[in-house]
């Protein structure tokens, strides 16, 4: 998205970009927990000599919390004035 800043009103674009960046950060955090869980499972797999039982409940709880937060933020974004304004900006440039 950074490539398009010159194409639009800077203030309106940055307002929109800030929201999208925040959504990207939240979704990245959810994905990070997936990767953490996958890496831990691999590390403690049967192929390793020091196998341990790992309880992933805390990881899953954190992931569920982040997913709920992401859903809420996406719903707010869908109905935001920033998205409506950005749609107008795009339509104006096409």
For residue range 58-94, list pLDDT tens digits in order: 899 999 999 999 999 999 999 999 899 888 878 876 5
Q: Residue 74: which domain range?
A: 8-93
Q: How far apart are CA 93 and CA 86, in angstroms?
A: 11
Residue 3 lies in a domain: no
For residue range 24-68, list pLDDT tens digits in order: 999 999 999 999 999 888 887 766 655 566 778 889 999 999 999
The pTM score is 0.74
Report the Cα 17 to chain-centroid distance in Å: 13
User: Number of folded domains in the chain?
Assistant: 1
Q: Cβ of 41: how many Cβ atoms within 10 Å?
A: 11
pLDDT at 11: 86
Q: How far apart are CA 94 and CA 87, in angstroms?
A: 11
Instruction: List the structure tokens of 81.
Output: 């004035």
Q: How far apart are CA 78 and CA 91, in angstroms?
A: 17
Instruction: List the structure tokens of 77.
Output: 């974004």
């Amino acid at each position: 998205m950074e490539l398009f800043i010159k194409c639009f009103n800077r203030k309106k674009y940055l307002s929109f970009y800030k929201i999208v960046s925040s959504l990207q950060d939240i979704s990245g955090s959810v994905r990070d927990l997936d990767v953490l869980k996958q890496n831990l499972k691999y590390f403690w797999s049967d192929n390793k000599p020091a196998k341990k039982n790992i309880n992933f409940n805390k990881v899953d709880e954190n992931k569920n919390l982040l997913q709920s937060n992401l859903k809420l933020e996406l719903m707010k974004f869908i109905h935001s004035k920033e998205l409506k304004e950005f749609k107008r900006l795009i339509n104006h440039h096409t």
